[in-house]
């Protein structure tokens, strides 16, 4: 059960990143592009994983697709191709040969993260505010850049895994930093973000998990 | 008896009261109402059986501390928020130790990871082990590389150094699968279900506070259920126990009120004085006080069942008081009246004491406690009748009451139907034959599932929670024996392999063994070899090229093996649930096909399938057997006492009354469909003791002038006993009702048989044949007020 919570924490972190990568409703936060209900968001990412005590980090690049209420596709192109899919059914890793391996088996609880993403996209921060202290710095007079800092509650599941999350953006989230206990941190840069209408292209749609109908 | 005797006895009772107050009030002697603590307190000699019961006790103790709630709502946020609300409210209830929701922080995880990280090379998930054994290390390498760049990666600086192939997260993932659904949110049919698991204070179990906790928790649930879109269900032993206790308590309170009112009304009507009522109360209170004093001197912990049965059995003590107050004051002074009943009183006490003492021949603590409580209580009541009752005011029975006339008529009727000695002896033979036959036809039914009333609402909620969350209600488990922990772990590994097909085909929903968490040393050694040869050797350098660390193969010489020791227990307290003494326990989830499970276990000598309900039923079956034996010993002792007192033939006849009453209770209740178990056997004890009192008092008075007083006392005793115990038959709780039925049948049979078997044909005590019309016209007490000094002397010799 502990692992389940741990995985959930990580999923939450990943979801939050992607959620922040998505545009928000204009009503929720000024400066963020609203994402309609039948739209999805796609773009490129660069992930720099810094490990405390080592000068060289782990750098990867690729594409992401976020479908509100359905899941997140994280496709690494370099240095090694591979896909991670986060959805209601858990985390699925798909290697370059198409082999799938599941982490966090069969637990519909992972749907919570998709719900969180949807909440963010809908401008409903309450889902995050239940788990994070949210400090939002709106755009200034001379800039469109806003910043949000999410600090997990001390007693939340994610609190043991994430120290805090800082995101900045304009129309879209541009950068996210996940600070972790022990001094490690991940820097994620999102670029070339665009919204598009559903349905997804078939190759992408096939990657997404199907929600457990039971 | 002099005033000095009375003073000394009062001082003794006061000291006893002070002692009891100090012992129980001060917590020096604990009243244990926890059913679980009763289990396994004795060593039945059979090691296997002892281990079974010990394991059951362990499992039940663990389960009794857990209450599971399931919150559901149409959307996830609503459900999780309601769950958080519920958790907050539950945590405020006195007796709640910990509340866990899916959103709780994974506070233990860093500690768990830090603890297990050094063991990463020896802890392989079954899938990784299978992969490496198949020579497919490439898959794990690919996964490792992918994981390095995954947004949901568990990689950090430390884990990369100690577990570069990220084996530990896989191991923990498999572990979470074994543990079940992980306690997460479940989506089903358009609703979201969130579990809230509450750990209860261990001191709550069996105390009065558990009922209060359940009441508070139910109130919280009701509050949340007032929201139309929220539904909260619950399960757990604590709810079932409280529901059963609540029903039983309500029934017993109702019956006690009826019985008390009836007895007070009866005594008041018959004597029209508070004196007899006071005498009965003082006698009963003294008996209870003496019983508690004795039991608290000997035992540090007294079980509530012993207290309840002890108190019931010394309800016989009330009869002692009734026999004294029923003697017409016109028959002489208090001491003279006392001497009239003293032989019967003493013989009745001796018979009961021998009977209850026979209970202590069993090795069970419970029966020993009941025996000591009852013996001491009866002696206390006896001494109170002797020392104190003569100093209380008495009133003669009101002669205008129909009861006097009824007694006279009944006495005459009994006199008419009393057979000669050969006839009574023949009846005894029939009774003994009846016992012989009943051993063939009447079988015990010790199934504890039949004792309770059952709560359909709770059962339905339990099933719903089990279906949706897969949590709760997993009564069966396996006990793994073995001389060493390593042997047991290897057995568990073989067991998992054996049961894997059942897990796959749904015959078994899930299982968790200690070896799933801590593999055997043999397997850990195999694992490190697999990791070295299948991962580090071919892929270590390739991985090293990608990460900023040196990837060095683990050394079997320096890599520690994980052991089920105190250090592991400290970090993984859940392990305690999987161990019991020198055995390991395997928890099973959802046993759908018991036959298939038993078949799969064939040949595994060190593995025992245990069903707690069956094990406890078996234990109570043993209690019943011991109680039967004790009852037999008691009856034999009663026979010897009766022969010693009345001679061979009359003694056998006198013995026939309580024996016949027990037989009638046994057969009659069986005919009414009452299952015979330990508790109904204890009710037979009560029938025997009261039945013996009836016949002994009547036998002692059969040649005396106070014969009709005794008959009246026996009738009053019957009415009070039927009111006190017989009304239990109206209870909605099967256990309580069954005890009541047995006692009611037995006491009525005893009352019918007692005068017949007491040999009343040897005299015509009231001269009924010639004087019935006359005697019913005049005051019986006047008619029977013959000088008694000679009677008193003659009969006060025992």
For the residues of B99-162, what is the DSSP string, one character each?
EE-TTB--TTHHHHHHHHGGGGGG---HHHHHHHHTT-HHHHHHHHHHHHT-TT----HHHHHH
- A83 membership: H or E segment, kind and range: strand A82-87
* C-alpha to C-alpha distance for B699 and B478, rounded to whole angstroms: 58
For residue B440, is pLDDT > 80?
yes
pLDDT, tens digit (0-9, with 9 covering 90-100), for B100-134: 776 654 445 666 777 888 888 899 988 899 999 99
Residue B77 is nearest to which of A101, A127, A184, comparing CB atoms?
Answer: A127
* C-alpha to C-alpha distance for B98 and B90, rounded to whole angstroms: 9
Q: Name the residue of chain A whose CA is nearest to B103's CA.
A: A157
What's the pLDDT band for B257 if we cut at 50, 70, 90?
confident
For residue B675, is pLDDT > 50?
yes
Contacting residues of B for A51, CB less than 8 Å apart:
155-157, 160, 548
Contact B152 A84 (CB under 8 A): yes
Number of domain units in chain A: 1
Q: Among A180-189, B38-47, B451-460, which is the least confidently predicted range? A: B38-47
In a domain, A209, yes or no: no
β B301-303/B30-32 pair status: parallel
Domain spans of chain B, in order of start: 254-448+615-795, 476-519+575-610
Decide: B624 and B713 in contact? Cβ < 8 Å.
no
Q: Name the residue of chain A whose CA is nearest to B571's CA.
A: A2
Average pLDDT on A106-116 reads 45
pLDDT of residue A7: 40
Q: Among A198-202, B218-222, B248-252, B658-662, which is the least confidently predicted range? A: B248-252
Touching A: B residues 115-174, CB under 8 Å = 139, 142-143, 145-158, 160, 169, 172-173
* C-alpha to C-alpha distance for A14 and A110, rounded to whole angstroms: 12
What's the pLDDT band for B443 if we cut at 50, 70, 90?
confident
E strand spans, B433-539: 477-480, 508-512
Decide: B665 and B683 in contact? Cβ < 8 Å.
yes
Shortest distance between the Cα of B172 and any Cα of chain A, in A, equals 6
Decide: A85 and A94 in contact? Cβ < 8 Å.
yes
Token look-up 């958790």 returns: B87
Distances B231 to A110, B82, B457 between C-alpha atoms, Å: 22, 9, 14
Decide: B303 and B38 in contact? Cβ < 8 Å.
yes
What's the pLDDT band for B455 if we cut at 50, 70, 90?
confident
Q: Among A98-102, B182-186, B790-794, which is the least confidently predicted range? A: B790-794
pLDDT of residue B48: 56
Please give the radius of gyration of chain B, using alpha carbons only, rounded to the nearest integer.
35
* C-alpha to C-alpha distance for B453 and B251, rounded to whole angstroms: 12
Contacting residues of A for B103, CB less than 8 Å apart:
131, 156-157
Contacting residues of A for B183, CB less than 8 Å apart:
1, 4
Contact A157 B103 (CB under 8 A): yes
Decide: B320 and B382 in contact? Cβ < 8 Å.
yes
B102 touches chain A (CB under 8 A): yes
Residues 6+ apart with CB under 8 A from A206: none
- Highest-pLDDT range among B106-120, B121-135, B314-328, B442-456: B121-135
Q: Among A19-28, A114-123, B534-543, B575-584, which is the least confidently predicted range? A: A19-28
Q: Which domain holds residue A68?
A: 2-201
* C-alpha to C-alpha distance for B319 and B298, rounded to whole angstroms: 27
For residue B794, is pLDDT > 60?
no
pLDDT of residue B523: 93
What's the pLDDT band for B42 if we cut at 50, 70, 90?
low
Q: Among A183-187, B216-220, B771-775, which is the least confidently predicted range? A: B771-775
Q: In this structure, what is the dihedral angle of CA atoms B480, B484, B490, B492, given to the nearest 10 degrees?
A: 20
Mean per-residue pLDDT over chain B, rounded: 79
pLDDT of residue B51: 60
- A61 membership: H or E segment, kind and range: strand A58-67
pLDDT of residue A10: 39
Of B180, B181, B193, B220, give the one whose Cα is nearest residue B96. Answer: B220
pLDDT of residue B384: 92
Shortest distance between the Cα of A79 and any Cα of chain B, in A, equals 9
* C-alpha to C-alpha distance for B369 and B350, rounded to whole angstroms: 19
Torsion sign, CA atoms B218, B221, B226, B232 = negative
What's the pLDDT band for B383 if we cut at 50, 70, 90?
very high
SS3 content of chain B, % helix, strand, coil (to 5): 70, 10, 25
Average pLDDT on B511-521 reads 88
pLDDT of residue B779: 37
For residue B738, is pLDDT > 90?
no
pLDDT above 90 coverage of chain B, percent: 12
Average pLDDT on B148-176 reads 80
∠ CA B488-B489-B490, rounded to 5°? 90
pLDDT of residue A148: 80
Shortest distance between the Cα of A175 and any Cα of chain B, in A, equals 14
pLDDT, tens digit (0-9, with 9 covering 90-100), for B17-37: 998 888 877 777 766 655 555
β B583-591/B579-580 pair status: antiparallel
* C-alpha to C-alpha distance for B775 and B765, rounded to whole angstroms: 12
Contacting residues of A for B108, CB less than 8 Å apart:
2
Touching A: B residues 51-90, CB under 8 Å = 75-77, 80-81, 84
- Could you tell me how far CA A198 lies from the centroid of its own chain? 19
What's the pLDDT band for B183 if we cut at 50, 70, 90?
low
Contact B156 A82 (CB under 8 A): no
For residue A2, is pLDDT > 50?
no
Three-class HEC string of B566-610: HHHHHHCHHHHHHEECCEEEEEEEEECCHHHHHHHHCCCCCEEEE
What residues pair up with A177 in beta bridges, in sequence order?
A166, A187
What residues pair up with B676 in beta bridges, in sequence order?
B444
For residue B656, is pLDDT > 80?
yes
Instruction: Give the SS3 label for residue A77.
Output: strand
What's the pLDDT band for A34 if we cut at 50, 70, 90?
low
* C-alpha to C-alpha distance for A2 and B109, rounded to whole angstroms: 6
Tokens at B104, concatenated: 């709780």
Shortest distance between the Cα of B232 and any Cα of chain A, in A, equals 18
In a domain, A149, yes or no: yes
For residue B359, is pLDDT > 80?
no
* C-alpha to C-alpha distance for B517 and B520, rounded to whole angstroms: 10
In a domain, A206, yes or no: no
Q: Among B167-171, B231-235, B374-378, B392-396, which is the least confidently predicted range? A: B392-396
In a domain, A30, yes or no: yes
pLDDT of residue B413: 77
For residue B526, is pLDDT > 60?
yes
In a domain, A58, yes or no: yes
ipTM: 0.79
Average pLDDT on B48-58 reads 64
In a domain, A212, yes or no: no
What residues pair up with A194 in beta bridges, in sequence order?
A42
Contact A115 B77 (CB under 8 A): yes
Contact B548 A91 (CB under 8 A): no
Count of other CB atoms within 10 angstroms of residue B167: 24
pLDDT, tens digit (0-9, with 9 covering 90-100), for A180-214: 888 888 898 888 888 888 888 888 888 876 544 43
Contact A184 B104 (CB under 8 A): no
Shortest distance between the Cα of A165 and any Cα of chain B, in A, equals 13
* C-alpha to C-alpha distance for B288 and B662, rounded to whole angstroms: 25
Contacting residues of A for B152, CB less than 8 Å apart:
7, 10-11, 13-14, 84, 86, 91, 103
Decide: A42 and A194 in contact? Cβ < 8 Å.
yes
* C-alpha to C-alpha distance for B96 and B17, rounded to whole angstroms: 35
Residues 6+ apart with CB under 8 A from B647: none
Of B388, B410, B408, give the one whose Cα is nearest residue B320. Answer: B388
For residue B212, is pLDDT > 90?
no
- Who has greater pLDDT, B253 or B524? B524
Tokens at B634, concatenated: 């008691």
pLDDT of residue B380: 92
B557 touches chain A (CB under 8 A): no
Touching A: B residues 257-276, CB under 8 Å = none
Cα atoms found within 13 Å of the Cα of residue B327, Cβ hemisphere only? 29
What's the pLDDT band for B686 if we cut at 50, 70, 90?
confident
Contact A58 B148 (CB under 8 A): yes
Decide: A192 and A61 in contact? Cβ < 8 Å.
no
Q: What size, in residues, is chain A?
A: 214
Cα atoms found within 13 Å of the Cα of residue B514, Cβ hemisphere only? 30
pLDDT of residue B205: 63
Contact B149 A47 (CB under 8 A): yes
Torsion sign, CA atoms B541, B542, B546, B551 = negative
pLDDT, tens digit (0-9, with 9 covering 90-100), for A40-87: 888 899 999 888 877 778 899 999 888 876 778 889 998 888 888 876
Cα atoms found within 13 Å of the Cα of residue B90, Cβ hemisphere only? 31
């Amino acid at each position: 059960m502990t692992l389940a919570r741990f995985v959930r924490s990580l999923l939450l972190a990943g979801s939050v990143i992607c959620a922040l990568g998505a545009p928000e409703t204009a009503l929720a936060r000024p400066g963020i592009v609203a994402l309609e209900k039948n739209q999805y968001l796609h773009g490129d990412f660069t992930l720099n994983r810094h490990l405390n005590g080592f000068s060289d980090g782990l750098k990867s690049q690729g594409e992401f697709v976020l479908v509100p209420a359905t899941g997140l596709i994280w496709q690494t192109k370099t240095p090694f191709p591979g896909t991670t899919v986060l959805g209601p059914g858990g985390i699925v890793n798909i290697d370059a040969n198409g082999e799938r391996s599941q982490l966090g088996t069969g637990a519909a609880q992972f749907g919570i993260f998709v719900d969180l993403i949807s909440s963010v996209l809908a401008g409903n921060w309450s889902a995050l505010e239940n788990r994070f202290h949210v400090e939002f710095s709106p755009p200034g007079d001379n800039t469109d850049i806003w910043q949000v800092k999410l600090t997990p509650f001390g007693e939340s599941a994610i609190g043991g895994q994430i120290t805090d999350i800082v995101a900045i953006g304009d129309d879209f989230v541009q950068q996210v930093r996940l600070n972790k206990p022990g001094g490690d941190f991940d820097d994620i840069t999102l670029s070339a973000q665009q919204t598009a209408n559903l349905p997804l292209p078939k190759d992408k749609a096939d990657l997404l998990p199907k929600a457990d109908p039971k | 008896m002099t005033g000095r005797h009375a003073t000394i006895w009062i001082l003794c009772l006061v000291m006893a009261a002070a002692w009891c107050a100090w012992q129980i009030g001060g917590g020096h002697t604990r009243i244990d109402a926890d059913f679980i603590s009763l289990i396994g307190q004795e060593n039945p000699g059979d090691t296997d059986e002892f281990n079974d019961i010990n394991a059951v006790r362990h499992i039940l103790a663990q389960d009794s501390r857990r209450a599971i709630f399931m919150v559901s709502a149409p959307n996830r946020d609503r459900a999780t928020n309601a769950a958080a609300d519920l958790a907050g409210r539950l945590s405020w209830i006195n007796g709640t130790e910990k509340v866990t929701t899916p959103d709780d922080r994974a506070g233990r995880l860093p500690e768990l990871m830090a603890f297990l990280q050094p063991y990463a090379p020896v802890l392989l998930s079954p899938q990784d082990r299978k992969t490496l054994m198949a020579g497919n290390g490439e898959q794990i390498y690919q996964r490792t590389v992918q994981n390095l760049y995954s947004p949901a990666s568990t990689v950090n600086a430390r884990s990369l150094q100690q577990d570069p192939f990220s084996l530990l997260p896989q191991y923990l993932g498999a572990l979470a699968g074994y543990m079940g659904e992980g306690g997460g949110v479940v989506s089903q049919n358009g609703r979201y279900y969130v579990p809230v698991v509450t750990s209860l204070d261990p001191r709550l179990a069996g105390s009065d506070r558990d009922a209060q906790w359940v009441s508070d928790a139910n109130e919280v649930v009701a509050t949340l259920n007032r929201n139309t879109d929220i539904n909260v269900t619950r399960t757990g032993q604590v709810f079932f126990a409280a529901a059963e206790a609540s029903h039983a308590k309500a029934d017993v309170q109702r019956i006690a009120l009826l019985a008390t009112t009836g007895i007070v009304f009866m005594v008041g009507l018959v004597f029209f004085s508070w004196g007899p009522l006071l005498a009965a109360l003082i006698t009963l209170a003294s008996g209870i006080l003496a019983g508690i004093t004795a039991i608290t001197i000997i035992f540090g912990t007294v079980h509530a069942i012993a207290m309840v049965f002890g108190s019931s059995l010394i309800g016989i003590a009330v009869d002692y008081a009734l026999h004294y107050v029923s003697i017409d004051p016109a028959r002489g002074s208090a001491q003279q009246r006392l001497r009239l009943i003293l032989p019967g009183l003493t013989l009745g006490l001796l018979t009961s004491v021998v009977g209850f003492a026979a209970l202590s021949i069993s090795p069970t603590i419970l029966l020993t406690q009941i025996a000591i409580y009852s013996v001491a209580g009866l002696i206390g009541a006896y001494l109170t009748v002797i020392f104190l009752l003569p100093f209380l005011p008495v009133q003669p029975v009101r002669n205008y009451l129909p009861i006097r006339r009824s007694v006279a008529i009944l006495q005459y009727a009994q006199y008419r139907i009393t057979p000669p000695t050969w006839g009574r002896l023949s009846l005894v033979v029939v009774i003994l034959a009846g016992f012989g036959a009943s051993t063939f036809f009447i079988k015990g039914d010790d199934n504890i599932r039949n004792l309770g009333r059952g709560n359909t609402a709770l059962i339905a909620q339990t099933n719903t929670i089990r279906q949706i969350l897969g949590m709760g209600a997993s009564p069966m488990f396996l006990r793994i024996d073995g001389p060493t922990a390593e042997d047991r772990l290897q057995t568990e590994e073989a067991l998992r392999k054996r049961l894997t097909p059942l897990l796959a085909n749904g015959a078994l929903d899930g299982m968790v063994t200690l070896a799933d968490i801590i593999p055997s040393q043999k397997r850990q050694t195999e694992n490190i070899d697999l990791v070295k040869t299948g991962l580090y050797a071919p892929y270590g350098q390739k991985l090293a090229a990608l990460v900023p660390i040196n990837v060095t193969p683990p050394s079997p010489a320096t890599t520690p093996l994980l052991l089920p020791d105190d250090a592991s227990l400290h970090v993984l307290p859940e392990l305690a649930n999987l161990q019991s003494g020198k055995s390991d326990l395997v928890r099973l989830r959802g046993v759908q096909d018991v036959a298939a499970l038993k078949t799969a276990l064939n040949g595994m000598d060190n593995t025992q399938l245990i069903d707690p309900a069956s094990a406890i039923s078996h234990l109570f079956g043993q209690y019943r057997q011991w109680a039967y034996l004790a009852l037999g010993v008691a009856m034999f002792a009663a026979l010897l006492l009766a022969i010693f007192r009345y001679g061979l033939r009359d003694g056998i006849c006198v013995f026939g009354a309580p024996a016949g009453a027990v037989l009638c209770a046994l057969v009659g209740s069986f005919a009414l469909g009452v299952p015979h178990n330990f508790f109904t056997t204890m009710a037979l004890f009560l029938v025997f003791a009261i039945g013996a009192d009836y016949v002994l008092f009547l036998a002692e008075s059969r040649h005396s002038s106070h014969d009709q007083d005794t008959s009246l006392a026996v009738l009053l005793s019957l009415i009070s006993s039927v009111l006190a115990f017989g009304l239990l038959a109206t209870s909605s709780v099967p256990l309580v009702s069954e005890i009541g039925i047995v006692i009611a049948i037995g006491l009525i049979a005893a009352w019918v048989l007692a005068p017949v078997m007491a040999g009343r044909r040897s005299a015509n005590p009231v001269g009924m044949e010639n004087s019935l019309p006359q005697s019913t016209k005049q005051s019986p007490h006047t008619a029977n007020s013959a000088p008694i000094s000679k009677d008193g002397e003659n009969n006060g010799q025992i």
